[in-house]
Structure formats: structure tokens, C-alpha cells
Amino acid sequence: MSRKLAIAIFLFLVSCVSLPTNAHPLKICEFERIYQLGDSISDTGNLIREYPIGANTAFAKLPYGENFFNNATGRCSNGFLMIDYIAMAAGLPLLQPYKNTTANFEHGANFAVAGSTALSTPVLANKKILNPVTNSSLDIQLDWMTSHFDSVCVDHRDCVEKLHKSLFMVGEIGGNDYNYAIFQGKSMDDLRSMVPDIVNVIVEAVKKVISYGATRVVVPGNFPIGCLPIYQTAFQTNVSAAYDKNQCLKQLNDFATYHNEQLQKAIHKLQQETPNAMIIYGDYYNAYQFLLNFARFYGFDTERACCGIGGKYNFDLRRMCGAAGVEVCSDPHRYMSWDGVHLTQEGYKIMSAWLIHNIFHKLHCHF
């Protein structure tokens, strides 16, 4: 990447993720509401409202949220998430978590729960996979969504009219199904066998939101998980062939690519079946790869967690961010990874700018 091109991209990113103005492209869509389903990539405070586990999670206290007005909101970062930047870009307030019973949901709602899975807890249990964090899988979130729409819509026609100018984010979801499987000893063949079920559950969720009247749906794929400190630490090796040019684990990234390819095929098929809705793949994989290249060019720390302890990647699964004695770096805006699993606010800002640029023309915003 040339310096001139990098500067141009940087200026584009700044313009995309600054506070919204009338000139921002997403405002052309005139979205009135945004709805989010997913996991910790997009949870703005649901898990911490789940008793008793959520209230005691590290996400419920500082240093999580230290750059969010020094307030731990349940976001798994030091500040804003991608969904926050997307809401800003659309000129809408930040999404409130559905579990906040005093929140104003006039402009949408966030049903995402940190630690959640695409497959339900019983289905995972049948595969001998335990979710140690939450039972609020995608089907539960869809039930919440149904209850919410039943409370705000007079009838189906009313919902269709209200949701015509809404943006739905169905995911990222499914990443935790694989995370739990990997760390509970499942093989790569086991993981690949899970992909059809996970993709099918995501597709069924998209069908459900469309049935309520959604016309613009973004379905994000998985990150290149072989680039995350949690995996780089767990599977660190001296075998150079195990790593790609970005020093990410090839096998894990190949698996993430396989999941994303199957998801894109399913989205394409569903788009043909439902031509009245725009169903768009959210390319988190390449957004992250862009972030990686961008960060390296500008001298960000692309390997170590900002909040962590120990080893090459500043990460220890037994002493994670929020635990006693685990320190936070002095300059998180120069780091990509916040806690070895989730990104910093700066990382999410750059990824969201790339994503907005990538999906904008696909949204066909001509109301």
C-alpha cells in the first residue's frame, strides 16, 4: 500500500466514523430503526442483565468501557462497537439492549448477547458442547424480537409499514459455537460438520425477520479467527508453515473462510427466493484483513492484547482482562485487540468504516 493511498483511506475512514452529518451516505437510506441479533461483537448490555452470571462478568465493570465515558455498559471492548458506529452513521441513537426495561426502543433494539450461539443449548449439548456463558442463543433472541414486535405493532401490516425503513443486522453469530467446540477438544472435522446446521439456523433467522417486514438485512460472516490472540496463544507453534503472511494461523482462517463461503451461498439462494428484500453479506473477514493491513502501516500493535498478561500475545486464558493484576495498556488507540478476543474501539471504528463503504451500494437505498 502506498503512503498516498493509505492517507486517502485514512481520511475516508475519519469521515465515515465521525459524528453523523447530513452528508453521510448511510443517512441517504433514511433508516428509522436498527435491530441487532448476535453475540459479544454487538452486545450493548444484555448479558450483564442476565442474573446471576451476567452481573458478575468482567464486562460489567471497568476497564471494559473505560473509553465509553468511563462507563462499563456491557460492551466487550474499551468503548464503542461496530453497531454503535453504524447507528451513528445512520444518524440514529445508539441501540439500547433489549434487557434494559427502562430503555427507549423508538429507533430499534439490540437483542445480541455476549457468549451466545447460533445453535440452541440443547442442540449443542447433543454434540457434547457446553455453553458456559448464556442460554440466550439465536432462537431465544428471535423470541425476544417477536415479543417486542407484538408489543409495538398493532398487526402484521403495521409491522411491515414500521419496518420498511429499518436495518436488520443478523449476526455475527455462530462464532461462539466454534469457539466452544475448539476449546472443548473438538476436531476440525467436527467443526466442519457443524457448519451446515449453523448456516441453516442463521438463514431461518433471516427468513423470520423478513416475515415481519424487514427489507434490508445484513448477515455478517466470521472473523479470521486465526489472527486473534486467544487462538494464537492456544495454538502457538514453531512450525512456520502453520502461519500465513500476516502471522495468522492458516488452518483456523481456512475454516473461517469455509464457514463464510457456505453462508454466502445460502444468502445468495435466499436472495433469489425473496427478491423484495435486500439480503447482504457483511464481510467481517475482509474488513478485519483491511484493519490488519491498515494497522500495520500506521504502526499499531497488531498481535498483542491491550488488556492482558503474559506471553507473546499478552494473553492468558486463565487470567483475562478484568481479573486481578491484569493491566491495561496506556494507549489502547494504538492496539487492535482489546482483550485477546474482542477488538478495541479503534479497531471496531476502522472495521465499521470499511464495512459501511462495502455494503452501502448493496443496500439500494432509494426510498
Kindly report, residue by residue over 177-229, the tens digit of the pLDDT. 999 999 999 999 999 999 999 999 999 999 999 999 999 999 999 999 999 99
Helices 3-17 and 284-297, packing angle to 10 deg:
120
164 is a catalytic site residue:
no
H-helix or E-strand spanning residue 61: none
CA dihedral 321, 322, 323, 326 (to 10 degrees): 60
What integer pLDDT is reported at residue 12 of this predicted model?
Answer: 52
Within 8 A by CB and 6+ apart from 5, the residues are none
Q: Give the closest residue to 121 by CA, choosing from 141, 135, 132.
A: 135
What integer pLDDT is reported at residue 25 of this predicted model?
Answer: 67
Domains defined for the chain, CATH in brackets: 3-363 (3.40.50.1110)
283 is a catalytic site residue:
no
What pTM value is reported for the model?
0.94
Out of 22-36, 233-247, 302-316, 317-331, least confident range? 22-36
Kindly report, residue by residue over 163-189, the tens digit of the pLDDT. 999 999 999 999 999 999 999 999 999
SS3 31: coil
What integer pLDDT is reported at residue 8 of this predicted model?
Answer: 47
Within 8 A by CB and 6+ apart from 182, the residues are 191, 231
Q: Which is the catalytic residue, given 24, 107, 259, 342?
A: 342
Kindly report, residue by residue over 105-139, the tens digit of the pLDDT. 999 999 999 999 999 999 999 999 999 999 999 99
Check: CB of residue 64 under 8 Å from CB of residue 322: yes
Within 8 A by CB and 6+ apart from 8, the residues are none
Provide the CB-side half-sphere exposure for 189 (13 A, CA): 0
Kindly report, residue by residue over 252-296, the tens digit of the pLDDT. 999 999 999 999 999 999 999 999 999 999 999 999 999 999 999
| pLDDT at position 240 over 90 | yes
Q: What is the DSSP letter of 343?
A: B
342 is a catalytic site residue:
yes
N- to C-terminal Cα separation, the chain: 37
User: Exposure string (b/e) for 54-75, b if CB count within 10 Å is 16 or more?
Assistant: beebbbbeebbbbbbeeebbbb
Q: Which is the catalytic residue, given 24, 40, 77, 177?
A: 40
According to DSSP, the residues that pair with 356 across neighbouring strands are none
| pLDDT at position 10 over 60 | no
| pLDDT at position 342 over 70 | yes
